[in-house]
Amino acid sequence: MVTENPDPLLGRPAPPFCLPDSLGNTVCLHAYRGKWVVLYFYPRDNTPGCTLEALSFSNALEEFAALGAQVLGVSTDPPESHQRFADRHNLSILLLSDTDHSVIEAYQSWHPKKIFGKEVMGTRRDTFLIDPDGIIAAVFRNVSPKGHEEAVKSELIKQQERKRS
């Protein structure tokens, strides 16, 4: 669900970044200028919710591409973990590694979480829809992975129609 209260990043330029993908190649946000970008942050490779989300985006990748959008998944896992994750689940989305969580922090997705009653810092499951001009057009905070890609796709279509008007 799109954030009800205006998110502080909504309507602002997307924080720039360059991160390694699962093969160690550097991927920079500015390379996608002129395209829509679905940037989603997730806690960890090979966990049930993260696997469901990655599979959902992977299965919808052609639909997103047809809408002119690139899907990028980001977690703090290293590139080697992303490669194993992608191989194990036959993922086709681009997974990026933010081991120092600097990009996750820039998007305000690094938050305290309770794990086994103990508070630790970790990645919140958030998604950002970035328009072709590099502006954050929609923000989805603390999402549930089930059906999330459909909500993002629906918002993407709505935003594209709004830009055409």
Range of the domain at 75: 18-143
Is 54 part of a structural domain of the chain? yes
For the chain, list residues with pLDDT below 50.
1-3
pLDDT at 75 (0 to 100): 97
Phi, psi of 110 (to 5 degrees): -100, 110
Is 148 part of a structural domain of the chain? no
Report the CATH number that the domain containing residue 93 is assigned in CATH.
3.40.30.10
From the candidates 27, 38, 50, 86, which is the catalytic residue? Answer: 50
Is 161 part of a structural domain of the chain? no
pLDDT at 163 (0 to 100): 79
User: pTM of the predicted model, to two decimals?
Assistant: 0.93
Three-state secondary structure string covering the chain: CECCCCCCCCCCECCCCEEEECCCCEEEHHHHCCCEEEEEECCCCCCHHHHHHHHHHHHCHHHHHHCCEEEEEEECCCHHHHHHHHHHHCCCCEEEECCCCHHHHHCCCEEEEEECCEEEEEECCEEEEECCCCEEEEEECCCCCCCHHHHHHHHHHHHHHHHHC
Is 84 part of a structural domain of the chain? yes
Is residue 28 among the annotated active site residues? no
Is 13 part of a structural domain of the chain? no
Q: How many domains does the chain have?
A: 1
pLDDT at 4 (0 to 100): 52
Is 155 part of a structural domain of the chain? no
Tokens 């639909």, located at residue: 63
